[in-house]
Structure 1
Amino acid sequence: MGKELEILLLTHGDWGKYIIDAGKMIVGNVDRVSQISLNPADTFEEFYEKVENKVSEMKEGSLIITDIFGGTTTNVAAKLSLSYKINIISGLNAPLLFEALLNIDSINEDSVLDSIVEEGRDSCKNILKELRKMTK
């Protein structure tokens, strides 16, 4: 059997470690998810090298999820996409990751990537406003 698709989280600090732990509690199997933390002492080049070492081992079509659009994590992923066939989503949140995990074998399809992004977007709610809608 060949390599399987993977998910790589790129986050500022150790947030990626903690959201993977949450994934274990909610989704179960997170064996195909890994993370690389961007630390304050890392230069762009150092972080790029760490991420490239991992991406070079990943199956084509695998997914990188970054925390902040326009941040170093996303910029490194975008630069790597010039040399590697990878997918990238920015805006990591728990429901987005869980949706990606539930669809991990199809994360190289545009429609699945779109549904993952939509799940992440739809999970952000103004709770009091939502509650007010329910009581009307």
Structure 2
Amino acid sequence: MKSSIFVLSHGNFCQELVNSAEFIYGVIDNIYTFPLEKEVSLESYMGTIEKKINEIGGNIIFLTDIFGGTPSNVSTALIKKYGFLGFTGMSMPMLIYIVESISQEKSNDEILNNCKKIYDDSFHILTK
């Protein structure tokens, strides 16, 4: 069973990131988005995500928007509980790298070791 990707963010950023990645990459299987809306409680948000974890089973890689926000805090709690892998500061290069890595059946350790490099390599200052 291939790993799944859970993409979490404040608002619809997670959905739009996946839409944009699919514009470039094509359809991405086993990816789930969890936008945090203002009216949703922490407990409800975590419950929705944990319900999906139990539904699909298998390995999950979490991507979240910013460290220290509710999506990353929820992800951290679930990662600790279930032993998954997760990253904050998600970007399109990172998402596409993870999708390709899963399709190539790379291990979580290999993904972990390369994600920071992907993040660093994709950051460029466009002005002098």
1:115 aligns with 2:114: yes
Task: Give the deviation of 1:108 after TM superposition.
Answer: 4.2
Distance 2:88 2:55 in 1: 21
SS at match of 2:83: coil
Q: Structure 1, unaligned stretches of length 5 or more?
A: 130-136
The 1:73/1:38 distance shift into structure 2, 3 A limit, reads same
Give the letter aligned to residue 116 of structure 2: V
Distance 1:83 1:126 in 2: 38
Could you tell me which residue of structure 1 aligns to residue 63 of structure 2?
A: 65
Superposed CA offset, 1:39-84 (max 9, x none): 1111111111111111223443320111111111011011112321
Distance 2:13 2:50 in 1: 20
Contact 1:10 1:36 in 2 (8 A): yes
1:55 aligns with 2:50: no
SS at match of 1:128: coil
Q: Structure 2, unaligned stretches of length 5 or more?
A: none
Superposed CA offset, 1:74-118 (max 9, x none): 110111123213111111111111111111144642122221232
Of all paired residues, the percent bearing the same amino acid is: 25
Distance 2:60 2:24 in 1: 22
Distance 1:39 1:102 in 2: 29
Distance 1:51 1:69 in 2: 18
SS at match of 1:34: strand
Please identify the structure whose Cα radius of gyration is greater.
1
How many residues are paired up? 127
Could you tell me which residue of structure 2 aligns to residue 104 of structure 1?
A: 102
SS at match of 1:83: helix
The TM-score normalised by the length of structure 2 is 0.88
Task: After TM superposition, list the pairs within 5 Å mapping 1:1-136 onto structure 2.
Answer: 3-105=1-103, 106=105, 108-129=107-128
The 1:58/1:85 distance shift into structure 2, 3 A limit, reads farther
SS at match of 1:125: coil
The TM-score normalised by the length of structure 1 is 0.84
Contact 1:89 1:117 in 2 (8 A): no
